[in-house]
Amino acid sequence: MRAALPRRRRSVEGAGLNILLLTSEFAPAMGGIGTYAREIAAAASRLGAEVTVIAPDYARQTDAADRSLPFEVVRFSGGLHSMRDLPRKILLARRSVRRRNYDVVHAADWPFFVPLALSRWRTPARVLMTVHGTEINETQTPLKRLAIRGAGVFGPRTEVVANSRFTEALFRERFAVSPGKISAINLGVSEFWFGGQRTRREIRLAHRLPEDRVVMVTVARITRRKGHHLTLAALAKLPENVRSRITWLVIGPGGEADYVAELRQSAAQLACDIRFLGAQTNEEIRDLYMAADFFCLTGLPDTTGRVEGFGLVYLEAGAAGLPSVASEVGGVPDAVLADETGILVPPSTENISEAIAELASDRGLRAILGAGASIHARALSWEQCAATTYGLAYPDRQTAADRAVGLSA
């Protein structure tokens, strides 16, 4: 039996801490895990750590974009994860952990859990794995459970980080691990989302949004579990004099083709200004946040086991001063504080309709909840997330961070 190698912690200063981050999602692909990997790596770099990110190349040239980042990116040939990629990822992890004398080796998502577990005896570094929600349920198949047990994924020297209290509780429910092995650390909000260069009036003029319109915005892939159909049905229930004042901006790429087609057809039959804008750049989304009055994303429980582990998009909208209408599912209550930063409701048409009507009709309530949303977003930074995850010194916002919901002691 191998003796456990000692953990090498440097929790006083960031300078000199050497971090290896393994991720199966990264730019130019869009997605929450890719955002997490990029932002936590950049924040750790700003705090003085030396960070190397191992990421797929998606068969694209990314050299110029990678060089603009404040950390090193090493690309491997591949795209979005498939189980067929597991043997190559195992070999990649074995080579990568020995590439330098790392202090921390971090698997940012599930596809690198088994490869990192099989490589942890090749390095004395701290071994971290981040769970985001959905993959906890996805790993309950007999074959994946066997792989987890066989590789000893959550065994000695493995520390697990959850992105919300909900995700932490779900992990504890699915895996029998000691309480000290997992902690919840909320995600952060980039300074980027706290305002751009254009004014609200300029943006509204550019998008032909009259000043007297109440603009509701949704940013999410158009897929059933995100609940666009619930929002649409809720709009249909509104009194005509309320609905006629609302413009709903739907931002995001399409998901299931039949679902998108059905949603568009139903929207076309409703007497309401609904605009499907498709995928937009972050700069365009930020502008539209500045032009909007409130955010709405009404996800629902998914029978396939996919869950909303946190809900970073609510915080990004909150940074622009937008309150949210949100379903009380998964880890969303860590991102949207009920009656402080938005309105949390059960995922039903009636409740969502009432919440939309309340925000659409009450400018004062929007202002109060919007201010709370901005404060909540400001209290959660990527620097705080990186500092807590890696043990880096970060005194600047300690007081604000202590108030942030969901952070483990």
Q: What percent of the chain has pLDDT over 90?
A: 67
CA angle, 400 as apex, 397 and 403 as ends, to 5°?
145
131 vs 197: CA distance, rounded Å: 35
Instruction: Please name which of 370, 250, 386 lies closest in space to residue 319, comparing C-alpha atoms.
Output: 370
Confidence check: pLDDT of 399 > 70: no
Look at 137 and 324; give whichever has higher pLDDT. Answer: 324
Instruction: Quickly name the fold that domain 18-184 has.
Output: Rossmann fold (3.40.50)
Q: Residue ranges per domain, the chain? A: 18-184, 191-379
Q: Which residue has the higher pLDDT, 94 or 408?
A: 94
Token pair of 300 as six digits: 């629902």
The Cβ of residue 15 has, within 10 Å, a number of other Cβ atoms equal to: 12
Look up residue 85 and give its DSSP letter. Answer: G
The domain defined by 191-379 carries CATH number 3.40.50.1110: no
> Residues 263-273: pLDDT tens digits?
999 999 999 99
Overall pTM > 0.85: no
Residue-wise pLDDT for 77-126, tens only, equals 987 777 788 899 999 999 999 989 999 999 999 999 999 999 999 999 99
| pLDDT recorded at residue 174 | 87
| DSSP, res 347 | S
- pLDDT tens digits for range 337-352: 999 999 999 999 999 9
**Residue 85: what pLDDT?**
84
Provide φ and ψ at 196, rounded to 5°. -110, -155
For residues 133 and 361, the model is more confident at 361
Better-scored residue on pLDDT, 134 or 231: 231
pLDDT for residue 11 is more than 50: no
pLDDT, the chain, mean: 88
Q: With bands split at pLDDT 50, 70 and 90, how would you rate the model's confidence at 402? A: very low
Domains 18-184 and 191-379 in one fold: yes
Dump the DSSP string for 171-239. HHHHS---GGGEEE----B-GGGG--SS-HHHHHHHTT--TTSEEEEEES-B-GGGTHHHHHHHHHHS-
User: What digits encode the pLDDT tens for the residues 307-317?
Assistant: 676 788 999 99
4-13, 189-198, 216-225: segment of lowest average pLDDT? 4-13
